[in-house]
Structure 1
Amino acid sequence: MWHIDPISLRLFIAVCEEGTIARASEREFIAPSAVSKRIADIEADLGVPMLRRSKRGVTPTPAGQVLLRHARQLMRSMERLQGEISEYAEGARGQVKVLANISSIMEFLPESLSSFMTLHENIRVDIEERFSFDVVRGILEGQADIGICRKTMARGELEFIPYRHDHLSLVVNARHPLANRTSVTLGETLDYEHIGHSAFATLNSFMQNTAQELGRELRIRAHVPSFDAAYRMVQAGTAQTILPREAVSRYAELFGLRIIPLTDPWARGEFVICVRDQDALSPSARRLLNHLLAEIPSQE
Structure 2
Amino acid sequence: MKLDPTTLSLFVAVMEESAIARAAAREHIAPSAASRRLAELEDQLQVELFTRSNRGSVPTAAAYALLNMARGVLNDMDGIATQMKDYAQGGQEGLRGHVRVMANISSITQFLPAQLQRFLSQHPHVDVRLQERVSTDIARAVADNEADIGLLNNGSYGNKISLHPYRRDRLAVVMPQSHPLSRKRSLRLEQVVKHDLIGMHADSALNHLITRAAADQGLQPRLRMKVTGYDALCLMVASGLGIGILPEGSARIYMGTLPLRCIRLDESWAERQLMLCVRSQDALSPVAQLLTKHLCQPEETHKD
Shared fold, TM over 0.5: yes
Q: What is the alpha-carbon distance in structure 1 between the residues aligned to residue 158 and residue 237 of structure 2?
A: 35
Per the alignment, in what secondary structure is the counterpart of residue 186 of structure 2?
A: coil
**Quick one: structure 1 residues 53 and 220, their matched pair in 2 at CA, closer, same or farther if it must change by over 3 Å?**
farther
C-alpha distance after superposition, 1:34-53 (max 9, x if no partner): 43332121133435242658
Q: How many residues align?
A: 298
Equivalent residues of 1:96, 1:284 under 8 A apart: yes
Task: Name which of structure 1's ranges 203-212 and 142-151 shifts more when overlaid on structure 2.
Answer: 203-212
Instruction: Report how far residue 276 of structure 1 moved.
Output: 1.2
Q: What is the alpha-carbon distance in structure 1 between the residues aligned to residue 302 and residue 123 of structure 2?
A: 27
Q: 2:169 aligns with which of 166, 169, 172?
A: 166
Identical counterparts, % of pairs: 37
Does 1:67 pair with 2:66? yes
Amino acid across the alignment from 1:60? P
What's the Cα RMSD here? 3.1
Instruction: Report how far residue 265 of structure 1 moved.
Output: 0.4
The TM-score with structure 2 as length reference comes to 0.85
Per the alignment, in what secondary structure is the counterpart of residue 7 of structure 1?
A: helix
Q: What is the alpha-carbon distance in structure 2 between the residues aligned to residue 151 and residue 245 of structure 1?
A: 18
Instruction: Report how far residue 81 of structure 1 moved.
Output: 7.9
The TM-score with structure 1 as length reference comes to 0.86
What residue is the counterpart of 1:111 in the other structure? 114
Task: Name which of structure 1's ranges 66-75 and 230-239 shifts more when overlaid on structure 2.
Answer: 66-75
What residue is the counterpart of 2:201 in the other structure? 198
Q: What is the alpha-carbon distance in structure 2 between the residues aligned to residue 66 and residue 52 of structure 1?
A: 18
What residue is the counterpart of 2:264 in the other structure? 261
What residue is the counterpart of 2:15 in the other structure? 16
Q: 2:153 aligns with which of 142, 150, 154?
A: 150
Equivalent residues of 2:134, 2:205 under 8 A apart: no
Please list, as runs of the form range in 1=range in 2, the aligned pairs for 1:199-278 lying within 5 A after superposition. Answer: 201-278=204-281
Amino acid across the alignment from 2:37? R
Q: List alignment gaps of at least 5 residues for structure 2.
A: none
**Quick one: structure 1 residues 126 and 23, their matched pair in 2 at CA, closer, same or farther if it must change by over 3 Å?**
farther
Instruction: Report how far residue 22 of structure 1 moved.
Output: 4.7
Q: What is the alpha-carbon distance in structure 1 between the residues aligned to residue 84 and residue 164 of structure 2?
A: 27
Does 1:130 pair with 2:133? yes
Instruction: Report how far residue 199 of structure 1 moved.
Output: 6.2
Q: What is the alpha-carbon distance in structure 1 between the residues aligned to residue 25 and residue 117 of structure 2?
A: 30
What residue is the counterpart of 1:50 in the other structure? 50
Q: 1:290 aligns with which of 271, 288, 293?
A: 293
Amino acid across the alignment from 1:104? S
Equivalent residues of 2:50, 2:57 under 8 A apart: no
Equivalent residues of 1:48, 1:63 under 8 A apart: yes
Per the alignment, in what secondary structure is the counterpart of residue 257 of structure 2?
A: helix
**Quick one: structure 1 residues 295 and 14, their matched pair in 2 at CA, closer, same or farther if it must change by over 3 Å?**
farther
Q: What is the alpha-carbon distance in structure 2 between the residues aligned to residue 61 and residue 129 of structure 1?
A: 30
Per the alignment, in what secondary structure is the counterpart of residue 177 of structure 1?
A: coil
Task: Name which of structure 1's ranges 163-172 and 72-81 shifts more when overlaid on structure 2.
Answer: 72-81
Amino acid across the alignment from 1:217? Q
Per the alignment, in what secondary structure is the counterpart of residue 16 of structure 1?
A: helix
Q: What is the alpha-carbon distance in structure 1 between the residues aligned to residue 301 and residue 113 of structure 2?
A: 19
C-alpha distance after superposition, 1:95-152 (max 9, x if no partner): 1101111211122212322332222121111111211011111111111111111112
What residue is the counterpart of 1:39 in the other structure? 38
What residue is the counterpart of 2:97 in the other structure? 94
Does 1:187 pair with 2:190? yes
Per the alignment, in what secondary structure is the counterpart of residue 166 of structure 1?
A: strand
Q: What is the alpha-carbon distance in structure 1 between the residues aligned to residue 112 and residue 69 of structure 2?
A: 30
Task: Name which of structure 1's ranges 286-295 and 242-251 shifts more when overlaid on structure 2.
Answer: 286-295
C-alpha distance after superposition, 1:195-236 (max 9, x if no partner): 110066322233223323333211101111111111111011
**Quick one: structure 1 residues 117 and 12, their matched pair in 2 at CA, closer, same or farther if it must change by over 3 Å?**
same
Q: What is the alpha-carbon distance in structure 1 between the residues aligned to residue 51 and residue 278 of structure 2?
A: 29
Q: What is the alpha-carbon distance in structure 2 between the residues aligned to residue 127 and residue 299 of structure 1?
A: 21
